Structure 1
């Protein structure tokens, strides 16, 4: 597939990567001996009693509500019945101090599990005065918030914000699993991982249009929600545990409110957006580029003509992709009982000569019920693509459907098109003239149609196809798929019609019979060619051409956008060049190589098998 990705991170059009990293250090008391006692008569106040995971743990004075206090005792006890794990610590009028300054980072999230069997508790964060009372009433210092979650047999308290020290204890108070974490956002998505669990936004908290979060350069604001039939409201949204819906981290629950994602300050131009959602009921709002809200179900939303919409059922949630050949500046959506997560944005730029369906949204469907027969459904690289009637063996036919699928299992790269009793017609540009055309296909059953330059269709098995005089077709078995090449010796190819009953196609590439010198664009200083061989297992060659002396860098990236290798960083004079890349030490998968000058960036995709 000839695809330039100016900005792409992991499984872009299938499922977003969990885009945050996490360091974690925990104290779980498992290194201590069951029944060991600490505190009054055994240790001095402030004494460190043990260190686990680089976190020193000390015993501290306990303060009572109303004044006074004492230095009581703590002992290691079995925590199985309460926490489901071995050792825990029982505190009786004593506090434990946890010092996180030696773990090598400043945690921005600290959690601990506890069970309160009576009396009051103490808590202090970052050296602030001790609060004495019930934990759920404790105030936090500026920049810190605490969320307490009922876990059934115990409670989990989570502190959000930079925490260097924690003191906590009680009168009849059991404690376990004190964990310090550094949660960092490293991806191109908004996933709400850095927000406090349980935090609310919207009515009573924010003004309409107020930005509540900026993540990866994407501003997120809270907006008015429109109702079906007229009217609307400004409701609320809340950070929730997204595990049961999306299997990862945190998510946002929206209740009669919209979230607007503004890409104008984003690092890259955006022409695709993906997101995950769970619809619990009611209606939703959707708006692209500031257009009026669509109110209803997303499956009924009619996007602007330059964009396509694809929805994939992931089981407990749905994954949606909006993609097109125009810029997306903002995307606004929300619902009445609606959870959202992993809002990702990027830019797909295809400079090649092929139709490879990469501009389309995964799952986008065309044909019967979606498009009139003979209508153009999209255009890629100046090649308009139309949906057409399908003919059956023995006569008759139908106008079926086609939809965008993941092409990786079959073709090893990106997206492909599944056809079910429908033909696709590709109008081939006459300049530059094409005397041959190639396409990849895989036949899973039934018969196929194929036609060229307006001639009657051949109906049957494509391997037995008879084309008009002057046309010759050869088929090469590529393993999981076949590659067909059609050559016209008496003129140029202006049209290809192809489809099937259970038939996938990809990489429809018209080409001229040209020499090596013609591979490069004369109007550019540099042109990047496709690597060969591709796919490959260990070594490959990357060609590029230079028309005038210029500084060039050529870098290999993985699917997460991480730099893998720098193959060139120097000035190159006019000529054709080939760079070798040794991929024997990298894992199998898709990689991207990018050539940059001061004024141009070109990217291509390759597959390591």
Structure 2
């Protein structure tokens, strides 16, 4: 079993420490439509279900029932619970299924003619029941091509134990189960797992299209139509041009929209649950039409957070006029236009920011990928491209292979690149990766800036795509590269080249660059207001409306760069004073911490979309916000440190007489009161739940530590690890190559 599968609902129930049992409030949501999937994102992480329980995800009724083993027996003692590790290959939450079946009422008044779901299967057998007919098999692949009660089963393997099942035929009843099994995105429709994007690369550069013209790109029908100006009026004299300047921030060609709208049939008759596109906006107004509802604005950023045609719009600026728009909801129709406006990569999906590193450990050893292939690793989309040699020439005949020798210096698997480039869909303020280079030349492309060189030392200290490059040589051909600035696009390649641990952060002991948002690179006294954006140490900030207690709000607040004084946040150098304003901080990390100083008025905090309006940080100490446990460490005189001890993909902070500093994509071991004492720099080789340090966690020790977690004195991750070790043989080993709590590994592995 993958050691990242830390949560064990059965254990928590047995120990009667039932936390997070407040999910029932969310389980009566109405069905939002036939194109919505049961993705479990509306159920709080950690919620547990047992045989006989009922629940709901986005209006789909869930009923939990007995599980059947291949040797003939069955059990009613299994568990299902909501977890956050993307083990089924989807985004957001998924459902862990442990010796239990979940019956999903996917059919409404009319049975859907095709149903699909994502899965991750890591051990044991699986159950699949369709229209009352139950199949018990060791692996879903055994059912590929089989017809069950008039429904044909298609199994699409995505590698690393993950896949998609499509049930092609009228589905009136569906139940799914497994033993070490994960489930996500149960949908009343079927769609290709990784459909191409409308990227215009198959068109002829400089081709123009006028109002009334239609054309096809990557299989999508596109039609040009009238554009509307502000404050009024419109024109049917505009045109769209295929251009090569990369002004939308993508690769290859993009489409320049000059006083024209283009309607892109992104849905193809079946609405997609999320759509996205890259843009570059350089002047004039913008039109955006979704599901028949048109919005006309001066800037596409004005639509951030708006709901259009029942779809939530998320605008992610990348700087320089460029950015990404995500349309989060069922999209059946999409049109976009502008005056000096460029678009690229119009996709029938949203690439949600992955939380960990692309480490290839979820792929099958020996798997090969060629130019044009795409694949997913730990939630990151990778695409293979042409490789370029030094001195001229290139090839499309290279191969990327999942390798096991650790030649990039990481753990687990790595990726061997033999005359091929791989583009990794990563977007972060600092990116790092491990490499092993053993011969031939290398390619590196950052933010569309391409370099071809013979050795990584050639680019150490260089700036590529606006990003400083730091190369740390570890000997024997291995090393670490840190890209110390906002990275929106990354491609890597070589000839005898190995790659591992491509991460959306830079570790503090690896590079010389700063990794926290500490405001030291800003000018003291600078003010920012609602709607303003600015960057510090590569992190993008945006000013937003502030909300008072008990009610009311303002858009007239100000954020000011301060250089210390009576109201500091307790850090060094500059900090940021927030006076009746919120700031949205573009940070994405497995643990986030920040320093604060709170001297009056109420506070706002939003984590992963979960908003809280509070009068003091003590109110949220020990709570869970946006699926993330919160720990507050008070340092006196209004100052303190907040640790968000879980995957953070979105963070908003604000106050009235409030200061912040050192917003970091990690949590320091000496910051939290609930963190175990690791001594004077010495590693904590024994788990803190093991007081006699006999490298064994027995039941009483696990119970005591879990109780401490509930009372707020022990961190959640350590508590769950203690439970995990106890259930998996009690004895454990210390692995100094891993960070706590993963460094404590069961000596007797579960199967």
TM-score past 0.5 threshold:
no
Bigger strand fraction: 1
| Structure of greater relative contact order (alpha carbons < 8 Å, 6+ residues apart) | 1
Q: TM-score w.r.t. structure 2 length? A: 0.31
